[in-house]
Structure 1
Amino acid sequence: MTVDVLFPFYGDVALMKQAVHSVLRQSYRDFKMTVIDDGYPDSSIRGWFDSLGDDRISYERNDDNLGANGNFRKVLARATNELVVVMGSDDVMLPNYLQWLVDRADEYPGASIFQPGVVVIDEHGNSVNGLVDAVKSIYRPRGSGVRVLTGERLAVSLLRGDWLYFPSLGWRAETITNIGFREGYEVVLDLALALDVAMRGGSLLVDSQLAFMYRRHMSSYSSVRAVSGLRFDEERRFFENISAEMADKGWIHAARVARLHLSSRLHAASLLPATVRHGNRDGARHLLRHLVK
């Protein structure tokens, strides 16, 4: 079974190369990697991919910058196989990742999304466990081994606190391509997609087996938007919309959790002192609005 590794890129070139090499080091060799460069200003990138000499990898550069949502939607249209990974361009697959995904997909044919065990690293590759990841561990389903969540239970679990690591997720292609990424979201597009899967009857498999390294650093897109406060403007709009959708579906508990979005408010509160201390008035204003609305 060939796995589509979709690789939307814009960012640190050195970290991108580490991510690509981690795919090439997979013990499971049957994959197709599709790289779409969203116009990153480095003319050497195409030549580097050509130098790899691996016909499993294709590289394409956008003439115009599409932004995160646009580029994710474009790369998703390139999926042609049964299993899909939309990998972050600065993350690292452990050598067992693709084998893990293929095995779990075979063992659990009813599962739509696959979440392996993840270790979080910083820009230097050191293991870290900051506040965000400590909170994720609180909301992650209890237990070890394989667990499968579906329906409103899955939606409530993710709305209480998004404990997924999106770049590490494996997907049934028919699930992710039929639903796709919602337009208008740059930061919460991953949570929106997972909730759309839940609302359409799909299931999420979570496994404690370690298979992926997720990179968290302050220059990442989501981190920059968090400090500016713009992330939370988007989150608040999303939670208002998804709460209404959950209510229409009759998922009253999920709708209430979305309306409250407590973990999102707490995240904003945790950033407020540093934002004020650095004199970022616009950022502080966005964060305060998120806390009270």
Structure 2
Amino acid sequence: MSARFDVMMPYYGDVPLMKAAVASVRAQDGDDWRLTVVDDGRETGVPEWFAALGDPRVRYLRNPRNLGVTGNFNRCVELAEAPYTVLMGSDDLMLPGYLRTVRRALARAPRATMVQPGVQVIDGSGRPTGTLVDAAKKRVYAPSPNAALLHGEDLAVSLLRGNWLYFPSLCWRTDDLRRHPFRADLGVIQDLAVVLELLLAGGTLATEPEVCFQYRRHAVSESSAQALSGARFDEARRFFLDAAARLAAHGWPRAARAARHHWSSRLHALTLLPTAAAHARPLRPAAASLLRHAFAPRRVPEGG
């Protein structure tokens, strides 16, 4: 039976977490999936470990040169052959019912562009955890926890007010994702950029409330480091203002306003000021960047 789902795992270096992620995929039911690990690193022993698995459902590839985060995302999409693709983090975990839940969502909404199942957040040690960001996603920004099919400007407004999606847990329609590659000029917010492109092209999002995926939120990560330095928010401000102009031109004025104001992103910058004061060195540039993101005037895009 040919694969219906390609689970593509861009991998960067933590061997034990990657092995746990691989084991969680191998525990999925059905015979309609394949796992491909695309290694962008040079950790010793990794190719040998995959060769020893002897699992025909698992494919391992090592990039001849480092592509970086966004480059490896796009490489994974290029390699995907099945109708649906999951771009799973190499430190995240699928619970045993992940693909069963996604299949149910697609049976209900067979033309959905994306599926967002229920997600549990865990820390670096695998323990369930809760952060202010995740509480806001669940209680403030996310829609009703009931299964739903969302689309159009209403969904764009919801995500721009606060991005409640968990990117590594999403299942994407491969052909649609391939038409909108991840942008090389974005290092942290490229997932939201792709989702917006898909919505502008008429895409839909199916949600399923059953928790079947564990998203690992580390205390120290690439996005955390960029946030403390302010680099994440410099990128975010540029993205949101460009998106506001694009959405206004598309005839989605409410989404344009939500992008222009991006309140949740600005509030997030303010919440990081105490952490920056404790850890960022030098402090002044980091604090200035966070404050600039929170309070700088927003230019009004044409038609916004």
Q: Which category of TM-score, normalised to the shorter sequence, fits these structures? A: over 0.9
Contact 2:105 2:208 in 1 (8 A): no
Which of 258, 281, 286 is the aligned partner of 1:283? 286
Aligned position for 2:160: 159
Aligned position for 1:12: 14
Percent sequence identity over aligned pairs: 47
CA RMSD after TM alignment: 1.4
Distance 1:113 1:284 in 2: 37
Q: Which runs of 4+ in 1 moved over 6 A?
A: none
Distance 1:67 1:234 in 2: 17
Distance 2:121 2:248 in 1: 35
Distance 2:121 2:183 in 1: 27
Shift of 1:292: 2.1
Aligned position for 1:223: 224
> What count of residue pairs does the alignment treat as equivalent?
292
Per the normalisation by structure 1, the TM-score is 0.96
Contact 1:268 1:290 in 2 (8 A): yes
SS at match of 2:61: strand
Shift of 1:103: 2.5
Shift of 1:287: 1.1
Aligned position for 1:135: 136
SS at match of 1:77: helix
Aligned position for 1:108: 109
Per the normalisation by structure 2, the TM-score is 0.92
Q: Which amino acid aligns with 1:153?
A: D
Aligned position for 2:299: none
Shift of 1:279: 4.9
SS at match of 1:246: helix
Aligned position for 2:120: 119
Aligned position for 1:146: 147
Aligned position for 2:300: none
Shift of 1:123: 0.8
Shift of 1:224: 2.0
SS at match of 1:233: helix
Q: Which amino acid aligns with 2:288?
A: R
> Any stretches of 5+ residues in structure 1 without a counterpart?
none
SS at match of 1:179: coil
> Any stretches of 5+ residues in structure 2 without a counterpart?
297-304
Aligned position for 2:301: none
Contact 2:186 2:235 in 1 (8 A): yes
Aligned position for 2:195: 194
Shift of 1:62: 1.8
Contact 1:145 1:209 in 2 (8 A): no
Query: Residue 53 in 1 paired to residue 89 in 2?
Result: no
